[in-house]
């Protein structure tokens, strides 16, 4: 009964029909991002509910902003989001590869191969490919790391800005790398309106757009101790109506005096534990500011919680709630502190052992600022990964073509129908070089044939040259990508495709699903493809 009630408001598609529809959705989805792939990919202008514009060349940004409700399409978008989180790059490739694999799987299903067999074949292909990927990686030199970070930005910005952003990404990644891990969240990004993207600059240490709370405070010294307070030092306001019954003329003064004493006690505690810089999340009383200045303590107030947390991890300090209860153990260490004007804004800059870095992004419009920030984020993610694991693979379709060739040979040795699935998987991988060529205006089929032939003759490092249209050695050209990105894109796409192949029942809640126009058009046009 319960089940019936649930099913009443749903629509059901099952079996082959469910798979067909899911494959259509996947193809529609990849159709929406295909044109952004590679250095010759085009930008998309996205407009949200409130009419705000977003110009991007980033596949995952396109997909996350679109309100796609189709469950299979959502599974692929999720794979792409995971790719973005784990590898920072390769998001469009994930979607294209996944949908192409599914398209080929559908052809096999039509020929009578069971989806479960295909899923098994895909898993086998993926395992074998990962083994190959792990064995062919190139250990990167410093120059190659720079090339790889630039490759991750290619097509997104003009070459001068790419160079600038790539260098800042590498410098900041190096500053947070402890020989084992480089955590990109330790680099702070501030957007500052005005100027051009080329004026964006990197500051060593943590920069916060704040002024010290009293002009007589010292602002350039170090090393020293820092105290972080998630609160303020403020006088309680006497609530005259409700709480204080004034019986004698001196009472209000007495109240004020006792408040002063409490504040004084809190400050005495800070002085006693040896604090040089005091940072507070809330406000500071006028009287206290003067006392702090007199005792030579530098203080900043109304500092955001996120900045307090960055300060805490940079300096090894604990964030405490109450100034009066702070102890020596709560203090952190800093190396230097100073204030500096950058592009007309005053920044407090703090250097510490794990001080990280701050990027000030400049640009004339919000759209530009956002896109530059996204690009820097990606470049930083790639740089961090490469410091942790400096293994590269050839880009420009070279690795996909080489893997496809190897997988076809591998398939020959597989006796069951899985052999067909492995071949379909290999064909799917070639969608990447095909799309790269098509986006640059070349014939996808011819380009792939020429590239495959050229790899057979000159080896696996031959990739597409999208300017001349002829294959060339990508190692020489410096089109290199972190192995982690290619690896994650391949296995993430395969996992999503397998999950979709295993679905044979889709229950639709009968609500009006909003499908973006572009996807909708492709869905309706699918019958003719």
Q: Which residues bind Mg ion (CB under 5 A)?
A: 89
**Which residue minimizes CB distance to ligand ADP?**
395
Asked about 378 being catalytic, the answer comes back as: yes
Q: Read off the tokens for 18.
A: 């469910």
Work out how close the CB of 57 gets to ligand ADP at its nearest, in angstroms, rounded to a whole number. Answer: 6
How would you class 348 by CB atoms within 10 Å of its CB: exposed for 0-12, middle for 13-18, buried for 19 or more? buried
Asked if 298 contacts 337 with a C-beta cutoff of 8 angstroms, the reply is yes
Nearer to Mg ion, 91 or 337 (CB): 91
Asked about 517 being catalytic, the answer comes back as: no
Query: Measured on CA atoms in the order 269, 275, 276, 278, is the torsion positive or negative?
Result: negative
DSSP type of residue 200: -
Nearer to Mg ion, 61 or 104 (CB): 61
Helix, strand, coil share (%) of the chain residues, nearest 5: 55, 15, 30
Work out how close the CB of 467 gets to ligand ADP at its nearest, in angstroms, rounded to a whole number. Answer: 8
The answer for residues whose C-beta is within 8 angstroms of residue 72's C-beta and 6 or more apart is 21, 22, 23, 25, 26, 500, 503, 506
Q: What is the DSSP string of 238-282?
A: P-TTTT----STTHHHHHHHHHHHHHHHHHHHHHHHT-SEEEESS
Q: Read off the tokens for 115.
A: 């989806």
Q: Is 442 helix (H, G, I), strand (E, B) or coil?
A: coil
Nearer to Mg ion, 89 or 128 (CB): 89
DSSP type of residue 304: -
Work out how close the CB of 273 gets to Mg ion at its nearest, in angstroms, rounded to a whole number. Answer: 49
Active-site residue among 36, 56, 61, 91?
91
Nearer to ligand ADP, 30 or 172 (CB): 30
422's contact among Mg ion, ligand ADP, none, with CB below 5 to 8 A by partner kind, is none
Asked about 36 being catalytic, the answer comes back as: no
Work out how close the CB of 59 gets to Mg ion at its nearest, in angstroms, rounded to a whole number. Answer: 8
486's contact among ligand ADP, Mg ion, none, with CB below 5 to 8 A by partner kind, is none
Work out how close the CB of 373 gets to ligand ADP at its nearest, in angstroms, rounded to a whole number. Answer: 17
Interatomic CA distance for residues 54 and 61, integer angstroms = 9
Nearer to ligand ADP, 330 or 378 (CB): 378
Asked about 134 being catalytic, the answer comes back as: no
How would you class 291 by CB atoms within 10 Å of its CB: exposed for 0-12, middle for 13-18, buried for 19 or more? middle
The answer for residues whose C-beta is within 8 angstroms of residue 122's C-beta and 6 or more apart is 101, 105, 421, 422, 424, 425, 494, 497, 498, 501
461's contact among ligand ADP, Mg ion, none, with CB below 5 to 8 A by partner kind, is none
39's contact among ligand ADP, Mg ion, none, with CB below 5 to 8 A by partner kind, is ligand ADP
38's contact among Mg ion, ligand ADP, none, with CB below 5 to 8 A by partner kind, is ligand ADP
Chain residues in the site for ligand ADP (CB under 6 A): 36-39, 41, 59, 89-93, 151, 154-155, 395-396, 432, 436, 464, 466, 479, 481
Q: Is 439 helix (H, G, I), strand (E, B) or coil?
A: helix
Nearer to ligand ADP, 226 or 480 (CB): 480
The answer for residues whose C-beta is within 8 angstroms of residue 369's C-beta and 6 or more apart is 191, 193, 361, 362, 363
33's contact among Mg ion, ligand ADP, none, with CB below 5 to 8 A by partner kind, is none
| Number of other residues whose CB lies within 10 A of the CB of residue 515 | 20
Work out how close the CB of 153 gets to Mg ion at its nearest, in angstroms, rounded to a whole number. Answer: 8
Nearer to ligand ADP, 39 or 363 (CB): 39
Q: Phi first, then psi: give them for residue 442, nearest 5 degrees.
A: -100, 160
Active-site residue among 36, 56, 92, 484?
92
79's contact among Mg ion, ligand ADP, none, with CB below 5 to 8 A by partner kind, is none
Active-site residue among 84, 330, 378, 427?
378
Work out how close the CB of 94 gets to ligand ADP at its nearest, in angstroms, rounded to a whole number. Answer: 7
- Give catalytic residues, as residue numbers: 58, 91-92, 378
């Amino acid at each position: 009964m319960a089940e019936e009630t649930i099913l009443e408001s749903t629509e059901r598609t099952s079996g082959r029909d469910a798979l067909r529809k899911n494959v259509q959705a996947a193809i529609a989805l990849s159709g929406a991002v295909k044109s952004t792939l590679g250095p010759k990919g085009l930008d998309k202008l996205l407009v949200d509910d409130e009419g705000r514009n977003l110009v991007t060349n980033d596949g995952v940004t396109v997909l996350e902003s679109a309100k796609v409700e189709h469950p299979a399409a959502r599974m692929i978008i999720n794979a792409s989001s995971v790719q973005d989180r784990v590898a920072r790059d390769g998001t469009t490739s994930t979607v294209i590869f996944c949908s192409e694999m599914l398209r080929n799987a559908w052809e096999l299903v039509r020929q009578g191969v069971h989806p479960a067999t295909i899923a098994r074949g895909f898993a086998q292909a993926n395992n074998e490919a990962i083994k190959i990927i792990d064995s062919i990686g190139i250990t990167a030199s410093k120059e190659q790391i720079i090339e790889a970070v630039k490759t991750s930005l290619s097509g997104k910005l003009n070459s001068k800005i790419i160079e600038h952003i790539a260098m800042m990404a590498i410098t900041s990644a190096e500053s947070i790398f402890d020989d084992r891990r480089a955590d990109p969240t330790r680099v702070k990004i501030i957007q500052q309106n005005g100027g051009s993207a080329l004026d964006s600059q990197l500051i060593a240490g943590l920069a916060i757009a704040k002024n010290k709370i009293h002009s007589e405070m010292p602002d350039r010294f170090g090393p020293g101790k820092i105290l972080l307070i998630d609160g303020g030092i403020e006088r309680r306001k006497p609530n005259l109506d409700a709480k204080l019954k004034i019986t004698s003329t001196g009472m209000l003064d007495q109240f004020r005096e006792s408040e002063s004493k409490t504040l004084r006690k809190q400050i005495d505690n800070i002085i006693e534990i040896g604090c040089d810089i005091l940072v507070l999340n809330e406000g500071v009383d006028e009287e206290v500011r003067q006392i702090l200045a007199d005792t030579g303590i530098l203080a900043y107030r109304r500092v955001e919680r996120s900045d307090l947390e960055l300060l805490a991890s940079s300096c090894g300090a604990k964030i405490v709630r109450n100034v009066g209860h702070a102890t020596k153990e709560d203090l952190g260490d800093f190396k230097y502190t100073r204030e500096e004007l950058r592009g007309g804004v005053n920044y407090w800059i703090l250097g510490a052992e794990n001080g990280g870095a701050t990027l000030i992004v400049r640009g004339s419009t919000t759209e530009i600022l956002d896109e530059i920030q996204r690009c820097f984020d990606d470049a930083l993610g790639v740089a961090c990964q490469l410091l942790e694991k400096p293994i590269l693979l050839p880009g420009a379709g070279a690795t996909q073509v080489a893997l496809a060739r190897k997988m076809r040979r591998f398939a020959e040795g597989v006796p069951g129908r899985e052999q067909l699935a492995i071949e379909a998987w290999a064909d799917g991988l070639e969608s990447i070089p095909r799309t790269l060529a098509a986006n640059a205006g070349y014939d996808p089929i011819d380009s792939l044939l020429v590239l495959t032939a050229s790899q057979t003759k000159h080896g696996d490092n031959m990739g597409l040259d999208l300017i001349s249209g002829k294959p060339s050695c990508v190692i020489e050209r410096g089109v290199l990508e972190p192995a982690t990105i290619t690896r994650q894109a391949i296995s993430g796409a395969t996992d999503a495709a397998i999950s979709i192949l295993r679905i044979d029942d889709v229950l639709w809640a009968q609500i009006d699903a909003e499908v973006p126009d572009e996807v909708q058009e492709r869905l309706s046009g699918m019958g003719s493809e």
